[in-house]
């Protein structure tokens, strides 16, 4: 099925696919942004035009996610990985932080936290190779904070609901932000790299409860200090202007599609197409995650006969379905189908999976 501009079906885990309509708008503005005589890549971050871009991006994100005035929104650099350190620097203090480790990214977060003080594992899915999420969370209410990763990009497991804890809840939402409505009021800090559901790499969104910041007393280097970034409205230093501009376009588009409930329904339908191909294969394909924990963003599966994985990936590639190889730590295949991934691509993959199983089963 030919795609606009001869585009392929891009199953990359991130940076990932962006909406064609957004890319077209950007293309039209790249040389001259709305009569400014220059593009956003070349524009001072102190210009009125860029200030408006930042203002609108924040306002649209607020309205998409239903973020109240009790929260600040920041666009920082350094990726979600920098948040693994900034979070404990600000909020760990002399107490203990508890981490729910549902996969590789949660593991990275706790490893970084160890440099800053006492951290402990509240739940770890390692024993079943990170196929599931916890049923119950018996956190210590005296914890400095509880940290979770709502969607584990590598293993393809996710929390399909907002959890409640007594301690401040801090969440890495890098690979499922904007994929479903969330109750932001349940979280004290949400962070996410832009490069999956929001825009190009380079911007990291941080949504932070003002009350959480009020409790920070430690002196910190300015770039590591959320308070400095809040005070300067994400402009303490040069912000990731281009990435913010593209994120803003994506937010607008999601609003025009009807908001996150509509997006979520579509994600359920899209991922369902691929999971059905797995479930109906009589064991030819095996989903990595247990059914209840299946990610809507990263569908992970192995082939019962592992020797066939290479030809599966290369035959799919030849048909224009790119980047289906799974992460080396899980093996098999991973189909990342972020918000902007076209529904037709999921249908094409499921058809291919059935044919491949028929031919090789
Ligand atoms: N957390 C999750 C869930 C991720 O998927 C990733 C990147 N794939 C990261 C953190 C790290 O993000 P970054 O590369 O932006 O530092």
Residues 243 and 283 in one domain: no
CATH number at residue 153: 3.40.640.10
Average pLDDT over residues 346-357: 98
Going from the Cα of 84 to the center of ligand 1, the distance in angstroms, rounded, reads 10
Instruction: Record the tokens describing residue 114, joined without a space.
Output: 């160890």
Give the whole-angstrom CA distance, residue 64 versus residue 181: 8
Active site residue 124: no
Q: What is the pLDDT of residues 164-189, one digit of tens each?
A: 999 999 999 999 999 999 999 999 99
Residues 97-117, mean pLDDT to the nearest whole number: 97
Q: Are residues 197 and 300 in the same domain?
A: no
Residue 201 Cα to ligand 1 midpoint, Å, equals: 10
Residue 2 lies in a domain: no
* Per-residue pLDDT at 352: 98
Shared-domain flag, residues 98 and 173: yes
- Beta bridge partner(s), residue 207: 73, 190
From 326, 288, 297, 286, select the one nearest 310 (Cα to Cα). Answer: 326
Residue 2 reports pLDDT greater than 80: no
Q: What is the mean pLDDT of residues 104-126?
A: 97
Domain total of the chain: 2
Best residue among 105, 159, 191 to mutate for probing ligand 1's pocket (most ligand atoms within 8 Å of CB) is: 105
Mean pLDDT within 71-90: 98
Residues 105 and 196 in one domain: yes
Tell whether 202 and 192 lie within a shared domain. yes
pLDDT at position 139 over 80: no
- Tokens 């497991």 sit on residue: 157
Q: Does residue 279 sit in the same domain as residue 239? A: no
Q: Is the pLDDT of residue 276 over 90?
A: yes
Distance 284 CA to ligand 1 centre (A): 30
Residue 63 lies in a domain: yes
Return the ligand 1 atom nearest residue 81 CA.
16
Contacts 24+ apart (CB under 8 A), 185-189: 185/68, 185/70, 186/162, 187/162, 188/145, 188/212, 189/87, 189/91, 189/145
Does residue 241 sit in the same domain as residue 342?
Answer: no
End-to-end CA distance of the chain: 26
Q: Which atom of ligand 1 is nearest to the CA of 173?
A: 3
Residue 231 shares a structural domain with residue 292: no
The answer to whether residues 213 and 301 belong to one domain is no
CA distance 200 to 221: 27
Q: Whose CA is nearest to atom 5 of ligand 1?
A: 153
CA distance 209 to 89: 16
Give the mean pLDDT of 346-352: 98
Same domain, 84 and 187: yes
Reply yes or no on whether the pLDDT at 1 is more than 80.
no
pLDDT band at 141 (very low <50, low <70, confident <90, very high): confident
Q: Which residues line ligand 1 (CB under 6 A)?
A: 14, 79-81, 105, 149, 153, 172, 174-175, 193
Q: Give domain status of residue 276, yes or no.
A: yes
Whose structure tokens read 């999601």?
254
Name the catalytic one among 58, 123, 172, 209: 172
Residue 221 in any domain: the answer is yes
* Neighbouring residues of 191: CB distance < 8 A, sequence distance ≥ 6: 80, 83, 87, 170, 171, 172, 173, 174, 204, 205, 206, 207
pLDDT confidence tier of residue 324, bands split at 50, 70 and 90 = very high
Q: Note whether 251 and 286 are same-domain residues.
A: no
- Indicate whether 284 belongs to any domain: yes
Residue to mutate (ligand 1; options 13, 16, 81; most atoms within 8 A of CB): 81
The total number of residues written for the chain in this structure: 361
Residue 271 shares a structural domain with residue 220: no
Percent of the chain with pLDDT over 70: 100
The domain containing residue 288 runs over which residues? 10-19+258-360
| Confidence band of 361 (pLDDT split at 50, 70, 90) | confident
- Which atom of ligand 1 lies closest to the CA of 84? 10
Task: Spell out the long-range contacts of 218-225 with Cβ–Cβ below 8 A and sequence spacing 24 or more.
Answer: 218/89, 218/90, 218/93, 220/89, 220/90, 224/85, 224/86, 224/89, 224/90, 225/90
- Residue with the smallest CA separation from ligand 1 atom 15 is 79
Grade residue 80 by pLDDT with cuts at 50, 70 and 90. Answer: very high
- Global pTM value: 0.98
Mean pLDDT on 323-328? 97
Q: In what order do the strands lie in the sheet containing 333-336?
A: 285-287, 298-303, 333-336
The residue from 105, 176, 225, 270 that is catalytic is: 105
| 249 is annotated as an active-site residue | no
Q: Examine residue 139 and state whether it is found in any structural domain, yes or no.
A: yes
In tens, the pLDDT along 207-251 reads 999 999 999 989 999 999 999 999 999 999 999 999 999 999 999
| Residue 292 maps to a domain | yes
pLDDT at residue 68 in the model: 98
Task: Supply 92's token pair.
Answer: 């760990």
Q: Which atom of ligand 1 is nearest to the CA of 195?
A: 15
* pLDDT(66) > 90: yes
Structural domain ending residue among the three candidates 256, 273, 301: 256
Query: Distance between CA atoms of 206 and 238, rounded to whole angstroms?
Result: 16
pLDDT of residue 279: 98
Please say which residue of 226, 256, 286 terminates a domain.
256
Listed residues 223, 256, 289: the one ending a domain: 256
Give the pLDDT band (50/70/90) at residue 314. Answer: very high
Residue 1 belongs to a domain: no
What is the per-residue pLDDT for 136?
85
Are 231 and 210 in contact by the 8 Å Cβ rule? The answer is no
Q: Which residue, 354, 293, 319, 34, is CA-closest to 148?
A: 293
Q: Is the pLDDT of residue 71 over 90?
A: yes
User: How much distance in Å is there from the Cα of 204 to the middle of ligand 1?
Assistant: 10
Concerning whether 69 is annotated as a catalytic residue, the answer is: no
CA 24 – ligand 1 centroid, Å: 27
For a mutational test of ligand 1's pocket, the pick from 153, 176, 195, i.e. the residue with the most ligand atoms closer than 8 A to its C-beta, is 153
Burial 99-128 (b: 16+ CB within 10 A, else e): bbbbbbbbbbbbebbeebebbeebbbbeee
């Amino acid at each position: 099925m030919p795609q606009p501009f001869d585009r392929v079906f891009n199953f990359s885990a991130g940076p990932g696919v962006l909406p064609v309509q957004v890319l077209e708008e950007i293309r039209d503005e790249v040389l001259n942004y709305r009569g400014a005589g220059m593009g956003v890549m070349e524009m001072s971050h102190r210009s009125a035009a860029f200030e408006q871009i930042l203002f609108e991006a924040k306002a649209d994100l607020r309205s998409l996610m239903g973020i109240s005035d009790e929260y600040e929104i920041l666009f920082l650099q350094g990726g979600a990985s920098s948040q693994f350190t900034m979070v404990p620097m600000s909020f760990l203090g002399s107490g203990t932080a508890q981490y729910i480790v549902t996969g590789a990214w949660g593991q990275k977060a706790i490893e970084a936290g160890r440099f800053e003080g006492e951290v402990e594992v509240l739940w770890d899915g390692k024993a079943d190779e990170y196929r599931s999420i916890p049923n119950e969370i018996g956190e210590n209410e005296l914890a400095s904070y509880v940290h979770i990763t709502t969607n584990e990009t590598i293993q393809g497991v996710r929390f399909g609901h907002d959890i409640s804890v007594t301690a401040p809840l801090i969440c890495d939402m890098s690979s499922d932000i904007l994929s479903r409505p969330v109750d932001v009021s349940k979280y004290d800090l949400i962070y996410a790299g832009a490069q999956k559901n929001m825009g190009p790499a380079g911007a990291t969104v941080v949504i932070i409860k003002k009350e959480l910041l009020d409790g920070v007393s430690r002196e910190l280097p300015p770039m590591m200090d959320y308070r400095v970034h809040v005070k300067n409205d994400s402009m303490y230093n040069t912000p990731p202007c281009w990435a913010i501009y593209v994120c803003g376009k994506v937010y607008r588009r999601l609003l025009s599609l009807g908001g996150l409930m509509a997006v979520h329904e579509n994600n359920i339908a899209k991922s369902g197409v691929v999971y059905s191909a797995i479930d109906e294969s009589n064991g030819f394909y095996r989903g990595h995650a247990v059914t209840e924990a299946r990610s809507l963003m990263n569908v992970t599966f192995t082939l019962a006969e592992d020797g066939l994985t290479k030809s599966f990936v290369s035959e799919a590639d030849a048909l224009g379905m790119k980047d289906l190889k799974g992460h080396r730590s899980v093996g098999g295949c991973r189909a990342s189908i972020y918000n902007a991934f076209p529904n037709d691509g999921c249908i094409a993959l499921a058809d291919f999976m059935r044919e491949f199983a028929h031919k090789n089963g």
